[in-house]
Amino acid sequence: MENFNFWDSEVWGFVSLIAVLLFSLLLANLLKKSIKPLRMSLIPTSVLGGIILLIVSVIYQSVTGNLLFDTAFFGDKGMATMEIITYHCLALGFIATTFRSKRRQKGMRRTVEVFNTGVTTVATYLLQGILGLGITLIAALIIKDFFSAAGILLPFGYGQGTGQALNYGNIYETEHGFVGGRSFGLTVAALGFLSAAIGGVIHLNILKKKGKITIAEEEGAESMSAEQIQSPDEIPMNGSIDKMTVQIAIILAVYMMAYGAICLLSLLLPGFKSVLYGFNFLFGVLMATVLKWVLDMLRRAKIVKKEYVNPFLMNRMGGFFFDLMIVAGIAAIRLDYIKQYWHVLLILGLVGALSTYCYNRYVAKKLFPRYCEQQFMAMYGMLTGTASTGMILLREVDSDFKTPVADNLVYQNLPAIVFGFPMMLLATLAPKEPLLTFVILIAFFIVMNVILFRTKIFRRRRRRRAANKEK
């Protein structure tokens, strides 16, 4: 048995790292509360916390020549640990949010709106992928030894956030020789959050000048009833085991089920090992859905008397995991790895922001005329940051959630996963066949837009046929 002392850096390194990550969130929150421009910027606190740590680490490295998070204080491997935290928190956050209660949607109209929201999500991924890949294909002709498929990270950084950008950046770095691939992906994700904040504020100020909204300077307190926190048929909050402990146990049990499934499939499909482990969040969602269905069946059969899952606590846990994922992901960026690509990253960031803004603006006007502004703000925020960023922007134009946009963001996940899964596979093809991937993305984008605007396209055809018959 290996001997160790409690004062060794290996004992305290991980705890020190987590403490610093969480402290940065507190500091960022204090700065947002104290500085009006930051408060009005709508930049998520977790993003601001990550940027603070990134700035500190860059200053430390420029002065000492060493990496701040790879010092003994953080156990000599803090950078790798932050990437691991980002990787796992993505899946843990998705598992927690899967257990949130969901109201059933009623009516064909709402079903169509939810479906269209999911298709819009995937179509935006594809647009980001086409433009991003196109930019880096051109860059590869100009910059020597540049990784031509790097642009496919744009939809993962903007559309899906820090965790997926890291996943695919890691695959490109370890399997395809893209030096700095992880940091490239994390930087794209960070630019996405900045695009959400800057673009969101610009659009909100346009709406303000038109007199459509009033931007609040202070965050309002969210009041919740006792029933929203705990229903009468749930296990007690302070029983023989604390309810929060139960929620954490359920999340981790599901994650271990997902890990088992990934291990099994990796043995059956060894050539797809890296891809399967990159889909850890998807396996987590599937296992959480299965367990949720089993628990519902046991409850209906009255085998299980009490409800063990608490949606309120699961929602809070999901928020915690996503906040930790974002701050760790941004702090883990190695600017020295990507400084030679800063101009490519800047172009990717600007093109990603403008294309996402224009496309979602057009879709919202055409397909969601009843609540165009609310749908646009939520989708733009989500497709440049995360669902949480979308909710932040939505609150500015729909503080009481009177429109069904919040539900659209929740329920659209199923059609988005179904239609978006092929694109995840295309991302593994991109390093080998970038031009073929580019062509497939364009074709896929056209198909998704035909599906999205199906009613308008076929309605025009019917009108033309009717007009020809009259003639």
Check residue 204 and give its pLDDT: 85
Q: Report how far residue 131's alpha carbon sits from residue 445's, in angstroms, rounded to the nearest whole number.
A: 12
Q: Say how many C-beta atoms besides its own lie within 10 A of residue 362's C-beta.
A: 11
DSSP state of 242: B
Q: Is residue 325 classed exposed, middle or buried when 0-12, 13-18 and 19+ CB atoms within 10 A define those classes?
A: buried
Q: Report how far residue 328's alpha carbon sits from residue 340's, in angstroms, rounded to the nearest whole number.
A: 23
In terms of residues, how long is the chain? 471
Check residue 37 and give its pLDDT: 85
- The conformational region for residue 126 under phi > 0 = left, psi -120 to 50 = alpha, else beta, is alpha
Q: Is residue 189 classed exposed, middle or buried when 0-12, 13-18 and 19+ CB atoms within 10 A define those classes?
A: buried
Q: CA angle 19-37-348, nearest 5°?
A: 80
Q: Judge contact between 147 and 169, C-beta under 8 A.
A: no
Q: Judge contact between 89 and 325, C-beta under 8 A.
A: yes
Q: Say how many C-beta atoms besides its own lie within 10 A of residue 459's C-beta.
A: 11
Q: Which amino acid is at 244?
A: M
Q: Is residue 443 classed exposed, middle or buried when 0-12, 13-18 and 19+ CB atoms within 10 A define those classes?
A: exposed
Positions of the chain with pLDDT lower than 70, given as ranges: 1-2, 101-107, 212-232, 235, 237, 401, 460-471
Check residue 200 and give its pLDDT: 86
